[in-house]
Amino acid sequence: MRKSTFLKWKLRQAAFITRALASTNHVVLAHIIPMRRCNLACGYCNEYDQTSKPVPLEVMKKRLDKLAELGTSIVTISGGEPMMHPELDQIIRYIRSKGMIAGLISNGYYFTPDRIKRLNEAGLDSLQISIDNVAPDEVSRKSLRVLDKKLRYLAEHADFHININSVIGGGIKQPEDALSVAQRAVELGFSTTVGVIHDEDGTLKQLTEKEKEIFHAVKKLGNKDHARLNWFQDSIAEGKPYEWRCRSGSRYLYICEDGLVHWCSQQRGYPGIPLEDYSMEDFKREYKTEKWCAPTCTIQCVHQVGILDNWRDPQMTPVQIRREQKQKERVGEVLRAD
């Protein structure tokens, strides 16, 4: 990444954080899925299929228009494997044309020097690749040995921020691989983070003593800002629940390939409303709603968004929200009768 692009990236980050702290009335981060299909089949993953078609560009543009309308700061394209989408560059360009930050999550398999240059031209701001192990096994082929060449291409040609995420838990056999992945990322000039792999419903897997030791060693190597924001991970490593306010459905949105808004990748179906119909009323209800899955949630990006509002606006359970709504309606009826 060139120095000038790096400075611009830092300034844009500072701007969206300042904006998010100043106002709670807009979406901070949206994950959008342009294609559910993936070229891999990781053993722990429930976010891919092997047959679905790409969402057409015009449909993607309409969804992005709506995200812009909701004041979204960052749009991260995820999957499946979004690099398989034939119009990915146009999607990125469109995100940037709407003044939003464009991020991409990929398994790294499709990066060539030419493809990276085209992503530079499209205006991609940031890329995250998750690498699960050093050598491929039956759980995952997102492996350092397979991807190292791609990482070298990225180090040489990419003009966007790159984060390499290593993982622990969820059936990954050699936890020490996470350390090798993080060391290689730092060597190539990338930032690095470590995540705990969630189980099928997005909740916690307890780490063994060895996993915990490696988890802390990898965290030390990583981006200090991320480490500070990911304080919740220390509780996860200990297998303890912790208190925070998940703002999914409002400050964070997950838009699936069918254009429905979900809390996150692991809680699809809630609220399950089409993005085109999503209103500020939905946004405000979800902002206030306490999520039952929060105490053991391992999803890093939603935590980081949650930190921006963790100190304000306590949440209520769905039952309490319905009760409050009914009380308001009753007061309205009395006033109208008067």
Binders of ligand SF4: how many residues, by CB under 6 A? 25
- Segment near ligand SF4 (CB under 6 A); pick from 75-83, 85-93, 162-170, 272-280: 75-83
- Options 7, 15, 41, 59; binder of ligand SF4; rule CB under 6 A: 41
Q: Does 126 bind ligand SF4 (CB under 6 A)?
A: no
Distance CA 102, CA 122 (A): 10
Q: Does 263 bind ligand SF4 (CB under 6 A)?
A: yes
Q: Does 299 bind ligand SF4 (CB under 6 A)?
A: yes
- Options 30, 32, 33, 38; binder of ligand SF4; rule CB under 6 A: 38
Amino acid 81 reads: E
- Options 34, 60, 73, 81; binder of ligand SF4; rule CB under 6 A: 81
* Token digits of residue 37: 């299909």
Residues 6+ apart with CB under 8 A from 157: 113, 116, 117, 120
Q: Does 108 bind ligand SF4 (CB under 6 A)?
A: no
The answer to whether the CB of 74 falls within 8 A of the CB of 30 is: yes
Residues 6+ apart with CB under 8 A from 278: 66, 70, 253, 261
How wide is the angle at C-alpha 174 spanned by C-alphas 170 and 175, nearest 5°?
70
- Options 73, 107, 230, 300; binder of ligand SF4; rule CB under 6 A: 107
Query: In whole angstroms, how close is the CB of 201 to ligand SF4 at the nearest point?
Result: 8
Q: Does 248 bind ligand SF4 (CB under 6 A)?
A: yes
Query: In whole angstroms, how close is the CB of 316 to ligand SF4 at the nearest point?
Result: 15
Query: Nearer to ligand SF4 by C-beta: 46 or 208?
Result: 46
Dihedral over Cα of 212, 218, 221, 227: its sign: negative
Calculate the alpha carbon distances from 294 to 43, 112, 157, 289 in Å.
Answer: 24, 39, 39, 11
Rg (CA), the chain: 20
Query: In whole angstroms, how close is the CB of 141 to ligand SF4 at the nearest point?
Result: 8
Q: Does 154 bind ligand SF4 (CB under 6 A)?
A: no
Q: Does 331 bind ligand SF4 (CB under 6 A)?
A: no
Query: Nearer to ligand SF4 by C-beta: 159 or 270?
Result: 270
Q: Does 16 bind ligand SF4 (CB under 6 A)?
A: no
The answer to whether the CB of 123 falls within 8 A of the CB of 102 is: yes
Q: Does 191 bind ligand SF4 (CB under 6 A)?
A: no
Q: For residue 32, what are the β-bridge partners? A: 77, 255
* Token digits of residue 175: 């936890």
Residues lying near ligand SF4 in the complex (CB under 6 A) are found at 38, 40-42, 45, 47-48, 79-81, 107, 142, 202, 246, 248, 263-264, 266-267, 291, 293-294, 297, 299, 302
